[in-house]
Amino acid sequence: MPKLLAIDTSSESCSVALYLDGEYTSLSERAPRQQARLILPLIQRLLEAKSLGLTQLDAVAFGRGPGSFTGLRIASGITQGLAYGAGVPVLPVSSLKATALRAMRVHSETRVMALIDARMDEVYSANYELQDDGKLLARSDERVCAPEALVLPPEF
């Protein structure tokens, strides 16, 4: 089984997760504008709790957005540094796709329009459909628009 570390600072929360031996462990703190200060100690706590070093990972994933520009820079920079130092690949993950997958699992749905607050009276959005083979298919491009401009596809 792969050993994956995931990092997300694209919102007001600072989150890290570890996939190890088929189980997820995570730490998260809601800390607006504090992600740069908190992310490395959270990663260290999570890895130490599992007696795992960076070089034992198979990859490091990060929330590539959409989201806060500064938060995305923090996550991508930390991820690149850790992955390069450990000699493991980087896996960028769409924040909208992750949101959609979580909603599908929690609510037992196969079609979801994922939305994230983009501030300034706009939202990031994308439509997703879970295929029979378990793959998540994007049914639209990720976009930013006013909430009233959202259109749900007819098949949803």
pLDDT reported for residue 153: 81
82-123 residue pLDDT tens: 999 999 999 999 999 999 999 999 999 999 999 999 999 999
CA distances from 99 to 40, 87, 151 (A): 23, 29, 19
pLDDT band with cut points at 50, 70 and 90 for residue 155 = confident
What's the one-letter identity of residue 101? L
69-79 residue pLDDT tens: 999 999 999 99
pLDDT band with cut points at 50, 70 and 90 for residue 1 = confident
Report d(CA 92, CA 67) in Å as an integer: 13
26-65 residue pLDDT tens: 999 998 889 999 999 999 999 999 999 999 999 999 999 9
124-144 residue pLDDT tens: 999 999 999 999 999 999 999
Per-residue tokens: 117: 């607050």
pLDDT of residue 156 exceeding 80, the answer is no
Report d(CA 152, CA 63) in Å as an integer: 25
Report d(CA 40, CA 44) in Å as an integer: 6
> Which of 67, 55, 57 is closest to 142 using CA atoms?
67
Sign, CA torsion 45/75/63/30 = positive
With tokens 């949101």, the residue in question is: 99
pLDDT reported for residue 154: 81
